[in-house]
Chains A and B, each alone.
Chain A
């Protein structure tokens, strides 16, 4: 089976790209798929610390591209999952280090190593790093929060996915974009303070792959370097598992999108900012 390349992208920073990349890559590996996750945020490496392998980084993506290290030397085996490997970004400030032939060679190298999924964690923005992360993707997870600037940037990214990717250029079998809404708060949607997932989807006009609820567990997970998907009791982990099931083609109903029932007393005393 040829590898599927998934880009996790958003345009805007801070919406949960790295959290999602770590969760999705881990979830795919937990399902038994051999998975690699690549940090494309050259200069601002962060996937390593979210995945808890920051002390084991020896070589990075740019080392491999420049021929200073072999792919097998740079890949770090994940401490939680047997089938998961992390390719960290470099801390060099030279953005030109990320060349298109170089990135293509890395992805082809991973294909030859029989990886089933290659997850590309995009940096924020629309510069080289973001363009290289999406360049060879088969599937895009467009991460957005139900908030105006994030949705607007997601729409800009959809334009780029539609014009700047290899699949878009080849035409015939275009890239598959999916929406992943994160930091969703059903109570605030109910109160009319937050756009609903249906409204955001209607604007962006791409299939909704999942809705990840706002959760304190995400910070706890990154504090300890354990991807949030490894906290089985948490709604956020269950929502990521559902998202992965849908990505693998299993229809799964949306959860965690309805407001919590509140007592009258609580309703009465609830005060907004």
Chain B
């Protein structure tokens, strides 16, 4: 009580700034949720582009390549497996 009053007399903040905590927590959760909702549309696009690239550069067809996207241990993993055709 006395300390609180002293702090006030000295013009110090009597409470920790919860607004800063709010902003930090929100920034994180919003960034995460934006990523979650964007990857739904982004992933099929990346998948199609990689397959297109493999077809153009290596002559690989859909049956010889697999492009998958997975989450493991909190990390996102893009898994590409290609059987390169013999020339």
Contact = CB atoms under 8 A, between A and B. Distances in A.
Interface stretch (B26-34, B44-52, B62-70, B76-84): B26-34
Interface string B1-34: 0000000110001111111101101110110011
A193 B22 CA distance: 9
A272 to B, nearest CB: 7
A192 B37 contact: no
Contacts of A195: 19, 22-23, 26
Q: Is the interface of B mostly helix, strand, loop or mixed?
A: helix
Helix, strand, loop or mixed for chain A's interface?
A: helix
Interface residues of B, number: 20
Contact of B15 (A189, A196, A272): A272
Interface of B: 8-9, 13-20, 22-23, 25-27, 29-30, 33-34, 37
Pairs A-B, 8 closest by C-beta atoms: A192-B17, A155-B30, A195-B19, A192-B19, A148-B22, A199-B23, A159-B37, A195-B22
Interface of A: 147-148, 151-152, 155-156, 159, 189, 191-196, 199, 203, 267-268, 272
Given A203-B23, A272-B14, 10 more contacts: A148-B22, A151-B26, A155-B34, A189-B19, A192-B15, A192-B16, A192-B19, A193-B19, A203-B30, A268-B8
